[in-house]
Structure 1
């Protein structure tokens, strides 16, 4: 039997289950700090594919734009070891004029927080690679997956 180190656990809410591999760790068996970014990027990719649907294109391509990373933040909460399993929940946070936030919250299977991350793509024209407004069709998809976060509420007051 082949065991995957990562798979989509549920679509609503969108959750990825990941098993820590020995190759993710240093010789002492602790996950490399940089590996957490890989976990986030992989979760964002799977979530974006989910939002793109069966278009056979990336989320941005399906709506006529590129969506490179504008910024990313990561808050480390718990150490991980080989064989640990985590669930990473993804949702859309703030949707701005040209960029939006994908939030990722990881926790152990018994609910202990592991990390919180925010990945912020920006929409760019594909012909000249300059920022452009989020197309209405993409904004509609993002809105269906949006969740108001405490930080977003504070920014609005």
Structure 2
């Protein structure tokens, strides 16, 4: 289950690590972190841009595929733990956006950081396009307030 909120101008999601997210030892299964990160980005897109990935395709004729993604782990998450996941924009290029997605347990211990780079492409040609102005202005505003 996801809970959405803003804390100190940073978008946050909160969820419980479920048994299905974990390995037999009860520790979160590594690929699930990427799933959590991608879900966080989609929830953030809905809240900040007013679009999910499907409406970006249907309404704006663009996609935002992932170009690069990596994760660093700092502390284990276990079945039943709650994790607060924050999203910040590290930088934007002409057609790309670099996210930093961080997870913290209930004791505010930093558990992971996912770095994700996505680019904007035309949904028909899949060729890179500049970030549309109406989206860029919202992204820049969020970047400014969340990095204070």
Name the TM-score, length of structure 1 as normaliser.
Answer: 0.81
Where in structure 1 are there 5+ consecutive unaligned residues? 151-157
Q: CA deviation at 1:58?
A: 3.7
Asked if the contact 1:63–1:138 (Cα under 8 Å) also holds between the matched residues in 2, the reply is: no
**CA-atom RMSD in angstroms:** 2.5
SS at match of 2:139: helix
Which residue of structure 2 lines up, in the alignment, with residue 50 of structure 1? 47
Asked if the contact 2:91–2:98 (Cα under 8 Å) also holds between the matched residues in 1, the reply is: yes
CA 117–13 in structure 1, closer or farther in 2 if over 3 Å, else same:
same
**Is it true that 1:8 corresponds to 2:4 in the alignment?**
yes
User: Residue 135 of structure 1 is aligned with which of 114, 129, 132?
Assistant: 132
The size of the alignment, in residue pairs, is 146
Q: CA deviation at 1:63?
A: 4.5
CA 82–55 in structure 1, closer or farther in 2 if over 3 Å, else same:
closer
Could you give the per-residue CA deviations for residues 78-104 of structure 1, whole angstroms, max 9, x where no partner exists? Answer: 111111011001122201011011221
After TM superposition, list the pairs within 5 Å mapping 1:58-69 onto structure 2. 58-59=55-56, 63-69=60-66
**Is it true that 1:72 corresponds to 2:95 in the alignment?**
no
Greater gyration radius: 1
Higher strand share: 2
Could you give the per-residue CA deviations for residues 77-131 of structure 1, whole angstroms, max 9, x where no partner exists? Answer: 1111111011001122201011011221111122100101122110111231111
**Is it true that 1:106 corresponds to 2:96 in the alignment?**
no
The range that moved more, 135-144 or 5-14, is 5-14
CA 61–68 in structure 1, closer or farther in 2 if over 3 Å, else same:
farther
Where in structure 2 are there 5+ consecutive unaligned residues? none
Moved over 6 A (4+): none
